[in-house]
Structure 1
Amino acid sequence: AKKAGGGGVVGVVKPLTGAEEKKVGKLVAWGFDRSTCIDALKQTVGDVDKAVLKLLAGVYPSHLKGPCPAGGEERDPDELEELRFDERTALESIFGEDCFRELWQQIGEVLGCEITVEAQLAGVRGKSSMTVLVRYDAPCQYPFSPPYLLVRCEALPGAQCLKISRALCQKAEVMVNKNPGEPMLYDLVEWLKSTVEKEAAAAKEKEREKKAAADKAAAAEAKKTQPQAKSKIDAVEEFAAKKVSRDALAVQAERTNARLSKQE
């Protein structure tokens, strides 16, 4: 550390408190790296909800319009909430209380929801839980624009979760461009589940083909070396037969010599 002109210390990183570590942990759990989470919390003065929103904004690939497109038409908030409320009611009925949760702000405003589904993932034994975080904080115009989206899965590395999240964001933008104003979350979650399971099936099939190719190569190699092995066996058997023959001749010669000796 270096001392500044006024006697202060420059370059010393203050350790996080237990409460701050807890906040960072909540953000890291969504797949973001630790330093990015700490920066987001600093910029939002420790507000986890605002930090999440800041991080979510960075999930959308830069070439997409995203949840808050510039120059987009601003809709009536009551109209938006009515559409969102109807969708949340339907989603809770479909997924159940264990797999669907509304996200509330302290003042009573619903900021979004979380939906959890079970899916088979590539390279993971058994099905895994995947949680989709949905946020539509103002000025997001969902369902006339895509919502903020993020996928969390403890069975996958954070970087892979972010990759899946970006793919989900791209799909959301395609869907809203095709049918603006139409709630999409159920179809979006089903698309996510179908996509990761297709990837898992493809990976499994690729592994099966790889094993089949290895088995075929091993069989071909075994077949190739079989004649050589047979030739060696034949040579050994021939040698053994000749040795037996020589031994028999030697024994016969000894007997003949013995008889001749007696006759003498």
Structure 2
Amino acid sequence: MQKVFTEFSTNAILKVGNEALLEPYVVSKQLDLFTFIRTDTFKARINVDNMPYTIEPNSIVALTNVQYLQFVYGKDLVVYQFNRDFYCIKDHDHEVSCAGLLFFGNVHMPVINPNTKELHKLKILHDVFVDELETKDTIQAEMLRMLMARFIIINTRLLKSKEGLVETLSNTKVELLRAFNMLLETHFRREHSVSFYADKLFKSPKTLSNNFAKLNTTPLLLIHERIVLEAKRLLIYTDKTAKEIAYDIGFDDASHLSRLFKKHTKLTPSEFKKQLK
């Protein structure tokens, strides 16, 4: 089952269906679409950025448009895919508060585990999605965007609860974390210092670091992890040299990236590339 909504005036795309939406990814392929995958009674297996994941039954994963996906197996899945033109995460963040947590957060692939009551709500919402996709009228696009906003809000709340953000951090600190993650996603290719992000957030580097203490991480670690993740993607999925990748990620000297990469992976970029063959 696949339902596709397109809006030619804006190039908006929304796809709702099952694992058939993922089957074309027999090899890893950049998604280009924001994607939710919900399992039912069966497990599913996927590779994301060359890392294998098992999605347990009655779980939801959220993937961004820049990640690489390979579908391995799974059945009775519920899949939602949409592009920025259908629903721009940044433009609508005031509605759903998901940017920097559900999408482009410090968790590589958020996994959400709804309870029985929450699963029931999501299944009802899915039925409404399907019904609306079959209803062709002048407000269809608006209705579908409202439904997607509702779906994202539910999953963001569940993720906050899972990560303990509601209990351990004040709303102000949660918003600071989200803002940092979004700034990082925007600037990591050129800005690698904590002071840059602290300044953008009107904080001192020390204050910013203190706010991350309850998450058992630091701003500098998150910056480095994002740089290394991007380097891995480029090493795996492009033919660029380690030197070219270093320049792409904002290093004037390729040896600086090499040292950082080895610190996090125990391998130099060249060694990492060789082991893929």
Instruction: Give the TM bin, normalised by the shorter chain.
Output: under 0.3
Structure with the greater alpha carbon radius of gyration: 1
TM-score w.r.t. the length of structure 2 is 0.23
Return the TM-score normalized by structure 1: 0.24
Q: State the structure with bigger RCO (CA 8 A, min sep 6), 1 or 2.
A: 1
Structure with higher helix content = 1
